[in-house]
Amino acid sequence: MVEHFRAIAEATETPIIIYNVVPWTYLSPELLCRIFEEVPGVVGVKQSAGDLKLFADLMEKAPANRMIYSAVDALMYPSYMLGAHGSIAAILTAAPHASVTLWNAVKAGDHVEAKALHGKLLALWNAMAHDNLPACVKFAQRHQGINTGQPRAPMPVPNGVQRRAIIAALEPLTSE
């Protein structure tokens, strides 16, 4: 994997953020740190393993000049608490205002607000986390007045149960 990312970095001369996604191409914290050390063109990672221990290990071992982004929608709050430099995740698109407010609350040390937002965002994530997740995110956006169009075939639009759950989970996030 080191040589793979070295080849990409040399061929593109573009900063690289690795998408470390389970189960397809998961890289251990040790291997990621080795890549960081040996391939200057790799500037960060979108860490999607839902294991907070692995995330904590990566935060502790990664060079300070590399960016670690959380991609675990259900764990934004604890990821931020462990020092994530930000996030790249579906929940941010479905609830952008609440997601920014969560980030700001953590940075300000307001853990009462952060924990409350975490619970609300978790409810939304649980309502959207299905095989048709992109369609559910688009539905959440449309419900908030953002015209996103329909999901591309063959992905189905959210069914009635999914739509009602998403609307119910958005209510506490959008009524503030």
Q: What is the pLDDT along the chain (176 residues), one digit of tens a residue?
A: 999 999 999 999 899 999 998 777 789 999 999 999 999 999 999 999 888 999 999 999 999 999 999 999 999 999 999 999 999 999 999 999 999 999 999 999 999 999 999 999 999 999 999 999 999 999 999 999 999 988 999 999 999 999 999 999 999 998 75
Boundary residue ending a domain (88, 110, 136): 88
Return the structure tokens found at 31: 């291997």
**Alpha carbon separation from 52 to 35, 119, 147, 163 (Å, rounded):** 21, 17, 35, 30
Q: Where is the domain boundary, 42, 67, 88?
A: 88
Q: Please say if 19 is a catalytic residue.
A: yes
Q: Are residues 84 and 99 in the same domain?
A: no
Q: Which domain holds residue 76?
A: 1-88
pLDDT at 175: 75
86: left (phi over 0), alpha (psi -120 to 50) or beta: left
- How far apart are alpha carbons 122 and 5 in whole angstroms? 34
State whether residue 19 is helix, strand or coil: strand
The residues near 60 (Cβ < 8 Å, ≥ 6 apart) are none
Write the single-letter amino acid at 57.
Answer: D
Instruction: Choose among 102, 96, 90: nearest CA to 144.
Output: 96
Starting at the earlier edge strand, list the strands of the sheet with 67-70.
Answer: 16-20, 42-47, 67-70, 86-87
Q: What is the pLDDT of residue 52?
A: 92
pLDDT of residue 118: 98
Looking at the fold, whether 151 and 122 belong to one and the same domain comes out as yes
Q: What domain count does the chain have? A: 2
Helix (H, G, I), strand (E, B) or coil at 11: helix
Q: Annotated catalytic residue: which of 46, 77, 80, 120?
A: 46
What Å distances lie between residue 131 and 52, 87, 109, 136, CA to CA?
A: 23, 22, 35, 9
Q: What are phi and psi of 46, to 5 degrees?
A: -95, 100
Q: What is the pTM of this model?
A: 0.92
Same domain, 125 and 72: no
> What's residue 85's pLDDT?
97
| Whether residue 26 lies in the annotated active site | no
Residues 100, 172 within the same domain: yes
